[in-house]
Chains A and B, each alone.
Chain A
Amino acid sequence: NAGVTQTPKFQVLKTGQSMTLQCAQDMNHEYMSWYRQDPGMGLRLIHYSVGAGITDQGEVPNGYNVSRSTTEDFPLRLLSAAPSQTSVYFCASSYGGEGSYEQYFGPGTRLTVT
């Protein structure tokens, strides 16, 4: 199993550009989530999904969209990039449900917005 994969690994955008960060998992996990990591701020939840067709907002959802059309994929869209979105983005998945909380993280995407 590849686990959780993310593409691209690095990306530089100009302010106002849009892009999609890709995330896929091959563990048949129901739950998937997106976090951003900034120095000293830990991991902050952007959006999450508890199954195909179901998404919800996390702590810092503004400026981001998600969709979950399949169990495997959970892309994150930046609508109009801003310098404040410069960060490291991690996708994670978990089996889901009570008692199964372990999160499996992807390798991350390092995004710079100039």
Chain B
Amino acid sequence: GQQVMQIPQYQHVQEGEDFTTYCNSSTTLSNIQWYKQRPGGHPVFLIQLVKSGEVKKQKRLTFQFGEAKKNSSLHITATQTTDVGTYFCAGPGGSYIPTFGRGTSLIVHP
């Protein structure tokens, strides 16, 4: 599968601050997925991006897919304590089984 590198590994923010996590690949990706895992929980699918330059929004979350389809980002505006968790990007692997990045853990301080 295609490797995806995710940064940063951890991010501490004060509630109300913005947060961004980045996902990078050395090769072109046909698609990228984003998942959220709450502490003690399981990963939950957030979104899939397919098109070059695509931007999608879900309330305070903005997802972008780079023009070259080698990078993606997730931006959260005005974080809340409910945003706490680990955010994973996933690129396409063999037989359509995704390959996950190592995740970015978001810690929100009230």
Q: How many A-B residue pairs have CB under 8 A?
A: 63
Q: Whole-angstrom distance between the alpha carbons of A64 and B31 in the complex? A: 29
Q: Is the CB of A105 within 8 A of B42?
A: yes
Task: Indicate whether A71 reaches chain B with its CB closer than 8 angstroms.
Answer: no
Residues of B at under 8 Å CB distance from A?
1, 6, 9, 31, 33, 35, 41-45, 48, 88, 90, 92-103
Closest to B4 in A: A42
Binding site for B on A (CB under 8 A): 31, 33, 35, 40-45, 48, 50, 56, 58-59, 90, 92, 94, 96-98, 100-108
* Cβ contact within 8 Å between B96 and A45: no
Please name all residues of chain B whose beta carbon is closer than 8 Å to the beta carbon of A104 when the two chains form the complex: 45
Contact A45/B93 with A40-B9, A103-B98 known, Cβ cut-off 8 Å: yes
